[in-house]
Amino acid sequence: MAERKVIGKPVRKVDGIPLATGQPVFTLDVDLPGAAVGKVLHSPHAHAEIVRIDTSRAEELPGVLCVLHHGNVPRIPYTTAGQGWPEPSPYDSFLFDRKVRFVGDRVAAVAAESEEIADEALRLIEVEYRVLPAVLDPEGATAPGAPVIHDEEDARGIHDPQRNIAAAIDIRVGEIERGFSESDVVVETTCEFPYVQHVPLEPHCVIAYLDEEDRLVIRTSTQVPFHVRRIVARALGLPLSRIRVIKPRIGGGFGTKQEIILEDVAAALALRTRRPVVMKYTREEEFVAARTRHPMKVRVKLGAKKDGKLHAIEMDVLSNTGAYGTHSLTVLSNVGSKTLPLYNKAPHIWFHGKAVYTNLPVAGAYRGYGATQGYFALEVAIDELAEKLGIDPLELRLKNHIRAGETSPIFEKIGEGREGKAQVIRSCALEECIREGAKRIGWSEKRGKRLRDGPWVHGVGMAIAMQGSGITDIDMGAATIMMNEDGTFRLLVGATDLGTGSDTILAQIAAETLGVPVEAISVYSSDTDFTPFDTGAYASSTTYVSGNAVLLAARKVREEILRVASGILGEPPGELELRDGRVVSTRTGKGVPFAEVGHRAMYVTDQRHIIASASFVPPESPPPFAAFFAEVAVDVETGRVRVVKFVGVADCGTPIHPRLAEGQLEGAIVQGIGHALYEEMLLSKRGGVRNPNLFDYRIPTAADVPDIEVVLIPSEEPTGPYGAKSIAEVGINGPAPAIANAIYDAVGVRLYRIPFTPDRVLSGICSPAVLK
């Protein structure tokens, strides 16, 4: 392997300086003359029919430009989920509907000259509701006689609307009953994940306006600019060609910006008023009316032989998708498809479940995408199985986890809302990850020792996980690279850097391939008018999918450069190589700088722009792997849990930019610790969010971050760009189960419900089973 000059090096983040110096890079950092403010009227009821809506008083208020509601917009069913094609989520949403289905649902929207006027206008809209019985409990959603949430006739793609089932799955491998009857040891456990919110620093925000050619421009904080264009076109009945979506820098998304939350409304208001319309959600609206992780109850049953070989796995999922089925099927599928292959030794598998509608906040994509919920249950169950077998949980995992060269039938059985595709694991350093993590946490020294420090009792726990790298045969990334006459390059990608650093990663891939430093590549992402297509930043796809597209485009550009240089140097392209911004003859050592190549192509001989585009569709989705180790201390008198140390060791193939990869892993771990210890959206008896702010809903702060060690164990993924796989999501799958298992090691309390609050931990410690 040739020595790499850019890949694997912590180069400066290409957008670091503008971000750090506060340049106007975000969606709302620009002011458009004449911009109006858009605001949404949210439903106060969990389930109600709008009997009458009177907007006349609001419309008469000076400064109000328009009021939109179900009575004055076209009725077109669509999904707010920004996914590929065919869209796997049901078309169960409308711009505005005659019915509201959760507290926070859209009733109407106003455009006005100022925020104050818009707020006042919302108050002046008179709505008469006929309140309907509501489904506030996922368990009861499918019961006979339960209120039907989606009774509209024009919705499409709902699995069973009459029973409030948005999506369902049932996958069998082998014979599950036989599997359990042949097992020597069986454990069964049910774990619950509550409503949690992404809490991106920048809430959803958008500016929509008509340009000089009367085309609709949507400048928005999104992970999926091309899906925004397609979905808004559908929702508003516009030709796609009339819409341009601009994605500037994004202040975090974690999945919530894989949704069309405000773009459709802002666009409708801009079209109606013919004025630019600015919309942004408040933090409260983010909690109430954006998206959440799918709350789930996951039951896992494991059967194993005496020697610890897993023999049967059943996973039964009840997912709560809230009032709309966005990502309902695919998140549900991922609970199994991203977890079960990890333990590929079991010949008997039954994965089944459903995603049900409730009159509660709407769930959607959230980093980990179902795998996080699945791993919480699976990895707690593995810990219980290890105990029952009398085997160290670390050894049990080593005995059962997938290795390079192996496969799992699940890959073929479960895909993106449809059947999957067989896949062999080509790179896997999980075993090394486990061993390295164990060493760093002090697994053998600390486990089972219950070291005491005053009231604090220490314990260690672990979990392992995998994810994917993009969506097989569905995702697509494209890139265009053009050479400037001074020998530098412009890289245009539809890929969506939402703060992950992917623009830098893609620039590194181009730079390495073209033999230039990263500084010679200027990256632009993304604008549906000017950058090539990309499905967007989700499913851990950008480095692998868009990265491969950049690699292919860069290779084409390299060929072009060699051809031109061959004319200058008088040597065949095969004798030439690209090195340090020059084309050099391997035979004579003579070279020509890129600037001369660019200038010649642009102005002198055989004139052409050296430019190339390439697309990449992933034929497989190589999983990154990770091992997680937590050392916790539990205050046995109060139930407080402190994470003393956390070790995350991951195999993401070749880390293109180790520092950024570590940042992804560390950030995901911190987010996972938040899930484990404090985050939970509390709901009122009427279905409203009781803690829609960061005073009541706690997320980890810098002061809460424990001693976290993140380690990358490289592997070489042959299908990845320069051997790379993904790293964005896998890190969030481990903290909850690792911490739950560590608490068990410390105090003998099994926690099956997140978060592990002092209240819950102490009541576990005080339970008769533990006290004995």
Partner 1 sequence: MAIKRYHYARDVEEALSLLLAYEGRGALVAGGVDVARGLPGEIEGLIDITAAGLSGISREGGRLVVGATATLEGIRTSREVKAYMGGFLSEVMGHVATLSLRNMATLGGAVVSAHPWADIPTALIALGAEAVWRNEERTERAPVEELYARPFRAIFRRAVLTEIRLPAWDGAFAFEKLSRNAGDIALVNCACGLGLDAEGKIAWARVAVGATPYRAERLVAVEELLAGEVPSEALWEEAGHRAAAEARVGDDMRASAEWRRAVIPVIVRRALERAGRAVMGDR
Chain positions contacting partner 1, by CB under 8 A: 455, 637-640, 677-678, 682, 690-691, 695-696, 698, 700-701, 703-704, 757-759, 762-763, 766
Least Å from the CB of residue 678 to partner 1: 5
In this complex, which beta carbon is closest to partner 1, that of residue 102 or of residue 697? Answer: 697
In this complex, which beta carbon is closest to partner 1, that of residue 478 or of residue 670? Answer: 670
In this complex, which beta carbon is closest to partner 1, that of residue 353 or of residue 700? Answer: 700
Least Å from the CB of residue 689 to partner 1: 11
Least Å from the CB of residue 134 to partner 1: 20
In this complex, which beta carbon is closest to partner 1, that of residue 588 or of residue 701? Answer: 701
Least Å from the CB of residue 759 to partner 1: 4
Least Å from the CB of residue 684 to partner 1: 10
Least Å from the CB of residue 636 to partner 1: 10
What is the residue-wise DSSP string for 12-30? Answer: PPTTHHHHHTT-S-BGGGS
Cβ atoms of 733 and 371 closer than 8 Å? yes
Least Å from the CB of residue 204 to partner 1: 22
> C-alpha distances in angstroms, 28 versus 109, 419, 500, 658?
19, 41, 20, 31
C-alpha 402/C-alpha 154 separation (Å) is 45
Write the single-letter amino acid at 280. K
Query: How many CA atoms are closer than 13 Å to the CA of 666, on its beta-carbon side?
Result: 16
In this complex, which beta carbon is closest to partner 1, that of residue 116 or of residue 126? Answer: 116
Query: How many CA atoms are closer than 13 Å to the CA of 404, on its beta-carbon side?
Result: 14
C-alpha 67/C-alpha 55 separation (Å) is 7
Which residue in the block uniquely carries the two structure tokens 């819950």?
760
C-alpha 562/C-alpha 575 separation (Å) is 9
In this complex, which beta carbon is closest to partner 1, that of residue 406 or of residue 759? Answer: 759
In this complex, which beta carbon is closest to partner 1, that of residue 185 or of residue 683? Answer: 683
Least Å from the CB of residue 361 to partner 1: 16
In this complex, which beta carbon is closest to partner 1, that of residue 647 or of residue 673? Answer: 673
In this complex, which beta carbon is closest to partner 1, that of residue 1 or of residue 703? Answer: 703
Least Å from the CB of residue 321 to partner 1: 24
In this complex, which beta carbon is closest to partner 1, that of residue 49 or of residue 284? Answer: 284
Both tokens assigned to 443: 């697994």
Cis before 86 (ω within 30): yes
Least Å from the CB of residue 706 to partner 1: 11
> C-alpha distances in angstroms, 409 versus 28, 335, 354, 400, 501?
47, 15, 21, 15, 34
Nearest to 551 by CA among 597, 596, 513, 503: 513
User: In the chain, what's the furthest Cα-to-Cα distance?
Assistant: 88
C-alpha 653/C-alpha 437 separation (Å) is 17
In this complex, which beta carbon is closest to partner 1, that of residue 614 or of residue 677? Answer: 677
In this complex, which beta carbon is closest to partner 1, that of residue 239 or of residue 454? Answer: 454
Both tokens assigned to 306: 């005496």
In this complex, which beta carbon is closest to partner 1, that of residue 151 or of residue 759? Answer: 759
**Which residues does residue 355 pair with via DSSP β-bridges, in sequence order?**
167, 319
Both tokens assigned to 684: 């009122």
**Which residues does residue 90 pair with via DSSP β-bridges, in sequence order?**
none
DSSP 586: T
Nearest to 361 by CA among 265, 298, 295, 317: 295
Least Å from the CB of residue 45 to partner 1: 21
Q: For the purposes of burial, counting CB atoms within 10 Å of the CB of 371, is it exposed (0-12), middle (13-18) or buried (19 or more)?
A: buried
Least Å from the CB of residue 698 to partner 1: 5
Least Å from the CB of residue 699 to partner 1: 8
Nearest to 365 by CA among 245, 224, 244: 224
Both tokens assigned to 762: 């102490």
Q: For the purposes of burial, counting CB atoms within 10 Å of the CB of 743, is it exposed (0-12), middle (13-18) or buried (19 or more)?
A: buried
Segment holding 507, helix H or strand E: helix 502-514
C-alpha 355/C-alpha 399 separation (Å) is 33
Strands 277-280 and 36-42 turn out to be parallel
Least Å from the CB of residue 761 to partner 1: 10
Report H helices in 260-408: 263-273, 283-289, 328-337, 371-389, 393-400
In this complex, which beta carbon is closest to partner 1, that of residue 51 or of residue 766? Answer: 766
Provide the edge-to-edge strand list for the sheet that holds 48-54: 99-100, 48-54, 126-131
